[in-house]
Structure 1
Amino acid sequence: MSRPPLPPFDHDSAMLKVRLAEDGWNSRDPARVALAYTEDSVWRNRSTFVTGREAIVDFLTGKWRREQDYRLIKGLWAFTGNRIAVRFAYEWHDDAGQWWRSYGNENWDFADNGEMRRRIASINDLAIAESDRLFHWDRGDSGRRPDDHPGLEELGL
């Protein structure tokens, strides 16, 4: 299966790849998100190591059970050939109602068909008051951030 845009990336195709990834994760649909990764994709997410689509689905199912009202913004940091680096922030709350903003960086490595074969994520969490939230959009059916909602740079993140 092909997942355009395909490597090698230029600025426009890298930007599109980042936005498509953001859209997928904002859907909070683990099965949909997992299709963007190779069957044997390898992840490091914080201190958790995940291999393969089935494990990705399991990981994301648990993540979005814990991280409620999840909203994510990704931004392109760098790209070359078949690799993209992004920075991101997402907001969510836990079962107790505590809001968090999680910041991080990801390094992505893609197969020739455009599926991601490796994802390395470093993430830090900051407790925030609900009044400090910056990510405000109606999640609707897709969860997609509207095109006119500010990105990381515009929000000073």
Structure 2
Amino acid sequence: MSRPPLPPFTLETAAQKARMAEDAWNSRDPERVSLAYTEDSVWRNRSEFITGRPEIVRFLARKWARELDYRLIKEVWAWHDNRIAVRFAYEWRDDSGHWFRSYGNENWEFDAAGLMRRRLASINDLPINEGERKYHWPLGRRPDDHPGLSELGL
């Protein structure tokens, strides 16, 4: 299975890969998201260590059951050969109605077929008031005309 764009990455193809990841994660569909990763993909997400697509699916299902109204924006920070570093911020609320903005960085490594074989994520959560939210698009893909992280001052 091939998942273009393929390494080695350019600025354009790294940005394309980041937007594809953002779109998939904004779908909040664990099965869809898992298809971008190798069968034996290795993750570090905060303090969790995850290996393989079945664990990725279980992790994402738990995540989105807890992080309601999830909306994410990713931005390329750096790229080289088969690696991309992104920064991101996402907004979500818990089941008590408290809002958060989670900030983080991810380091990605891809195989020759364009599947991610390693994802290392560091994430911090900031409680925010509902009035401080910056992401107001309908659930799903971020509209093309919606500002990115830099334009939002994040």
Q: Which runs of 5+ in 1 are unaligned?
A: none
| Paired amino acid for 2:56 | I
Map of 2:119 onto structure 1: 119
Secondary structure at the aligned position of 2:96 is classed as coil
- Following TM superposition, where does structure 1 have runs of at least 4 consecutive aligned residues deviating by more than 3 angstroms? none
1:8-157 pair list within 5 angstroms:
8-139=8-139, 143-157=140-154
| Paired amino acid for 1:77 | W
Q: Deviations over 1:1-49 (max 9, x none)?
A: 0000000001110010000000000000000000000000000000000
Offset, 1:138: 1.2
Q: Deviations over 1:108-135 (max 9, x none)?
A: 0000000000000000000000000001
C-alpha distance in structure 2 between counterparts of 1:26 and 1:63, whole Å: 12
C-alpha distance in structure 1 between counterparts of 2:100 and 2:119, whole Å: 23
C-alpha distance in structure 2 between counterparts of 1:154 and 1:32, whole Å: 28
| Aligned CA-pair RMSD | 0.3
Report percent identity of matched pairs.
71
C-alpha distance in structure 2 between counterparts of 1:15 and 1:121, whole Å: 18
C-alpha distance in structure 2 between counterparts of 1:10 and 1:73, whole Å: 20
Aligned residues: 154
C-alpha distance in structure 2 between counterparts of 1:15 and 1:63, whole Å: 25
- Name the TM-score, length of structure 2 as normaliser: 1.00
Q: Which runs of 5+ in 2 are unaligned?
A: none
